[in-house]
Amino acid sequence: MGGGSSANPSARSSSTGRAINALQNEFPLGRNGYFGEPGTSKTEKNRQIISEDPDSSFQRFSKGWTRGAKVDSSVKLTDGTSYLHPDGTRVNVRPTSASGSPAVDIKSSNPRVKDQKIHFEGAING
Amino acid sequence: MDEFGYHLEDSAINDLVMLMGATWDSVGTSNRVIGDLEAGDLLTCPALLITDQHSVALSIDDNEDLIGGDYETLTILKAVPIGDSIKKARKQGTLFFHGKGERVRSIHLIREEVTQISNGTPTFHISSDSGVVIALESVVIRLQRRGLDGFDFLLAQAPSLDEVSFYRADQDWPMSLTVTHEFRRDLISLT
């Protein structure tokens, strides 16, 4: 049999674990495995992170979640870049999602994080 | 209730049917492999199904759709030109040779369906093709997309069709007090 990287789950999970820890102050991971708060839909995996500067929040979140991951050029996103972590977690960074707001999809192999799509929305003042 | 269907095109089905009766070589990818995940070995696109007579490359397209009030990522399975993928995969050693030399005895399409029910009322129904199950003489190969929003394939094998395990795409659709998801998976014979 050919193919297959050597299995070392503890080592492979480190880049996603580091992302969770590095972002914990600004983007805490809830006990339910989700970031942010529920979105407008009824599906819990649709999340939103609301801030006064959503583009900046999106940039910081994306940077944290793609550190240690490789770009996967075999995935062609409508607008964005797909990254694959050594533990198999896939992170799709979408500067413009179908809804118009920047978004990050996480397909997680880390048991602490559930699969989710996070939209970055602006706070409504007043 | 809104209905969404993301099914393999007829030309891709015909490509898969042409594997029937051929002598199996291997399954793999010309891209990356991450081994030993819970649900199998992860293959990035394109996934290659290789026999002595005919080969098929499967890939996954991005797709965001407005479903249940928000945009979901719901990827689409498709067949793509093979090009030099097999040569590249052989060179980098990203092929798996379970059952090499055996005849392809049956091919099944994996079709997954999710129905969302909100406060007792069906909201949407999604039907999506997710991969294939190929039975050889002594082993069964399962190549399944990692969920309805997945961009990767999970590869596993089993001694028989009855013993094939699948990635649980239902776990990607969480339940709450008011919203539930009904899930089903069918194996559709192509032969």
Say what the pTM is: 0.92
Nearest to B95 among A3, A39, A41 (CB): A3
Q: Mutate which of A12, A43, A108 to disrupt the B interface (most B C-beta within 10 Å)?
A: A43
Tell me the C-alpha distance between B153 and A12, whole Å: 19
DSSP per residue, B123-146 = EEEEEEEEEEEEE-SS-EEEEEES
Residue with tokens 């129904």: B125
Interchain contact A6–B (C-beta under 8 A): yes
Per-residue pLDDT of chain A (126 residues; tens, 9 = 90+): 343 333 444 445 589 999 999 999 999 999 999 999 988 767 788 999 999 999 999 999 999 999 999 999 999 999 999 999 999 999 999 999 888 899 999 999 999 999 999 999 998 754
Residues 102-121 of B with CB under 8 A from A: 116, 118
Contact A83, A67 (CB under 8 A): no
Q: What ipTM was assigned to the predicted interfaces of this complex?
A: 0.92
